[in-house]
A and B are shown apart, each in its own frame.
Chain A
Amino acid sequence: MIDFLKIKSDFPIFKKNPNLIYLDSTATSLKPQSVIDKLIEYYSSYNANIFRGVYKISEKATEEYEKTREIIADFINAKKQEVIFTRNTTESINLIAYSLGRKIIEKNDEIIVSIMEHHANFVPWQVLSSEIGAVLKIIDIDEEGYLRIKDKKSRKINLYEIITKKTKILALTYISNVLGTINQIKKIIKSARKINPKIIIIIDSAQAVPHIKVDVKDLDADFIVFSSHKMMGPTGVGILWGKEELLTEMFPFLYGGEMIEEVTIEKTTFKRTPYKFEAGTPSIAEVIGLSEAVKYLEKIGLENIKNHEKNLTQKTIKRLLEEFSGKIKIFGPKNIEDRGGIISFTFDNFHSHDIASILDNENIAVRAGHHCAMPLHQRLGILSTVRASFYVYNNEEDIEKLIIGLKKVYQILKK
């Protein structure tokens, strides 16, 4: 049994800000002491550039950097050479769009995304389609925030109206960063491959990997992308996992240092994956720090994290509806099993920024706005929402603080 009340003491930010109620882990997570210590360890003990140094501290830095690649590979059940370090999830998706998308997409081909995508998994495909003259198809959602992919009668996943032989790419989010919907990714992938075995499937897992077990072999996607900073690791590191045979065929993304095999005046040959995609000096300290984040996640256990967040989400929804019935509208699935620890809502006719500012006065950090999902808000017919999200360091006290904060919001803004 994990004592989630004690977990807070692992996060030094609460020592400096003892009253902080942090409900914005969907944007970025807080970092445990062990991750911060690892950054300091690199800078103070073996600060050196990796790979080409033939001296001890460079070798040590290289070893730690490559050890993180192994740790990530084990964490998602992948091969080491399939794990590429980028800057963030956005860059990982752009890399795929550039290095593979431009290579395989032709005029009138189809690229499929959903209306619940974060801009990072929407805009690169929208731009690519319009540049090449491909068709961007968008999977809609139903009233509860589930993808509209089920047969009306059998309630089974039916992609025959969406995916065709012309579909080259399906890019989907695992968990919506607004609705909290956990998409049935494994079933969707299986069903998509049945219709079109050649389809390339990219899963934006930025909101999934920090919270639920993601096994790339089990899911059978072609690419899985996520960010270090949302899983308690340092900022500045994104992860791109891809099937080796695809990575081998792809163009490099950035050209320059580190990614080359040989450069002559006439031509250049490139390294193999993953190094082909890691041009220039990477975020060395941050990658190394990420190894500690994975260790921390494994120590608590993803199953425990999932249950903890489920418990908090369920209680929060119940309390919000008890206290503000008729004034609050919560988006996303009603079935708690189908959602992550994300609650987006509108409150009376108050503006999300006003709500967030007043909550901030009470030391409650929530996000307000469109959360980089403008097409989704357009679909929902609203300008913006307030979003509260949970992670390991949240507890039931935070829920009550949020309720008190929202009561204050109502007192101040009611007309």
Chain B
Amino acid sequence: MNIYTEIILDHYQNPRNFGEIKNPTSVSEASNSVCGDKLKIFILVENKKVKDIKFSGVGCAISIASASLITDYLKGKSISQLKKINKDFIIKMLGINLGVNRIKCAVLVGEAISKLKV
């Protein structure tokens, strides 16, 4: 099955929320030992809501698209909604069928998010 769907390629080629936040309330990092990819997440929380969220780093199309889609979704959401981000949620959002080895790429953003102090 083709995992490089239009939506994945769109978010890979034009990632949303790519960059850094100057005054984040928390920053976290996650890396994939298989390929050495690293993703950094910056978050600005105000009144228990995600006021801003950005990511930086290097990654494959799947990990970049996943970070782009998830950060886009989280903007303006509550902290309790952020805490609901897990593997199943991410895979559902990507809408593609990934093998065991590529799932790690998709959930890298989730791992970084779970490390945020919010």
Chain A residues with CB under 8 Å of chain B are 351-354, 357-358, 361, 368-370, 374, 377, 383-384, 412-413, 415
Known: A351-B59, A412-B9, A415-B13. A370 touches B3 (CB 8 A): no
Interface string of B8-45 (1 = CB under 8 A from A): 01001100000000000000000000111100000000
Q: Please, which residues of chain B bring their CB within 8 A of the CB of A415? A: 13
Interchain CB contact under 8 A, B60 and A383: no
Q: Which residues of B contact A358 (CB under 8 A)?
A: 4
Evaluate contact between A354 and B36: CB separation under 8 angstroms: no
**With an 8 A cutoff between CB atoms, is B62 at the interface?**
yes
B109 in contact (CB, < 8 A): no
| Contact of B102 with A by CB under 8 A | yes
Asked if A353 contacts B13 (CB within 8 A), the reply is no
- Contact pick for B4, options A352, A370, A374, A412, CB 8 Å: A412
Which of these, B3, B9, B60, contacts A351 with CB under 8 Å? B60
Residues 63-89 (chain B) with a chain A CB within 8 angstroms: none
Q: CA separation between A370 and B60, bound complex, in Å?
A: 14
B4→A384 contact, CB < 8 A? no
What's the minimum C-beta distance from A372 to chain B, rounded to whole angstroms? 10
**Among the listed B9, B59, B102, which residue makes an inter-chain contact with A357, where contact means beta carbons less than 8 Å apart?**
B102
A413 CB contacts on chain B under 8 angstroms = 4, 9, 12, 61
Most buried by A among B9, B35, B58, B62: B35
Closest to A415 in B: B13
Within the complex, the shortest CB–CB distance from B35 to chain A, in Å, comes to 5
- Shortest B118–chain A CB gap in Å is 29
Q: Does B47 touch A at the CB level, under 8 Å?
A: no
Query: Are the C-beta atoms of A368 and B2 separated by less than 8 Å?
Result: no
Choose one: B58, B102, B105; the contact of A383 (CB below 8 Å): B58
Hey, which chain A residues are within 8 Å of B61, CB to CB?
351, 354, 413
Please give, as numbers and ranges, the residues of chain B lying within 8 Å of A412 by CB-CB distance.
4, 9
Task: Tell whether A370 pairs with B102 under 8 Å between CB atoms, given A351-B61, A354-B61.
Answer: no
Given contacts A412-B4, A412-B9, contact A354 B60 (CB under 8 A): yes
Question: For this complex, into which size category does the number of interface residues on chain B fall?
Answer: 10 to 19
A-B residue pairs in contact (CB < 8 Å), sample of 28 = A351-B37, A351-B58, A351-B59, A353-B35, A353-B60, A353-B62, A353-B102, A354-B4, A354-B60, A354-B61, A354-B62, A357-B3, A357-B4, A358-B4, A368-B35, A369-B36, A370-B35, A377-B36, A383-B35, A383-B37, A384-B35, A384-B36, A412-B4, A412-B9, A413-B4, A413-B12, A413-B61, A415-B13
Q: Smallest CB-CB separation from A377: which chain B residue?
A: B36
Residues of B within 8 A of A370 (CB): 35-36
B residues near A, CB below 8 A?
Answer: 2-4, 9, 12-13, 34-37, 58-62, 102, 105
| Interchain pairs with CB closer than 8 A, number | 45
At the interface, is chain A mostly helix, strand, loop or mixed? helix
Which of B2, B9, B36 interacts with A374 by CB under 8 Å? B36
Q: Are B2 and A361 in contact (CB under 8 A)?
A: yes
| Assembled-state Cα–Cα distance A352/B36 (Å) | 11
* Docked-complex contact A369 and B34, CB < 8 angstroms: yes
Alpha-carbon distance A351/B9, docked complex (angstroms): 13
Q: Chain B residues near A384 (CB, 8 Å)?
A: 35-36
Shortest distance from the beta carbon of B1 to any chain A beta carbon, whole Å: 8
A191 to B34, CA, bound (A): 37
> Which residues does chain B contribute within 8 Å of A374, judged by CB atoms?
36
Name the residue in A357, A361, A377 with the highest tally of chain B Cβ atoms < 10 Å from its Cβ: A357
Question: Does B3 contact A369, Cβ atoms closer than 8 Å?
Answer: no
Q: Which residues of B contact A351 (CB under 8 A)?
A: 35, 37, 58-61
Given A353-B62, A357-B4, 7 more pairs with CB closer than 8 A: A351-B58, A353-B35, A361-B2, A369-B34, A369-B35, A370-B36, A384-B35
Measured in the bound complex, the distance between the Cα atoms of B12 and A12 in whole Å is 39
- Provide the residues of chain A in CB contact with B58, threshold 8 Å: 351, 383
Residues of A within 8 A of B35 (CB): 351-353, 368-370, 383-384
**Complexed CA–CA distance, A352 and B34 (Å):** 11
List of B residues within 8 angstroms of A352 by Cβ: 35, 60
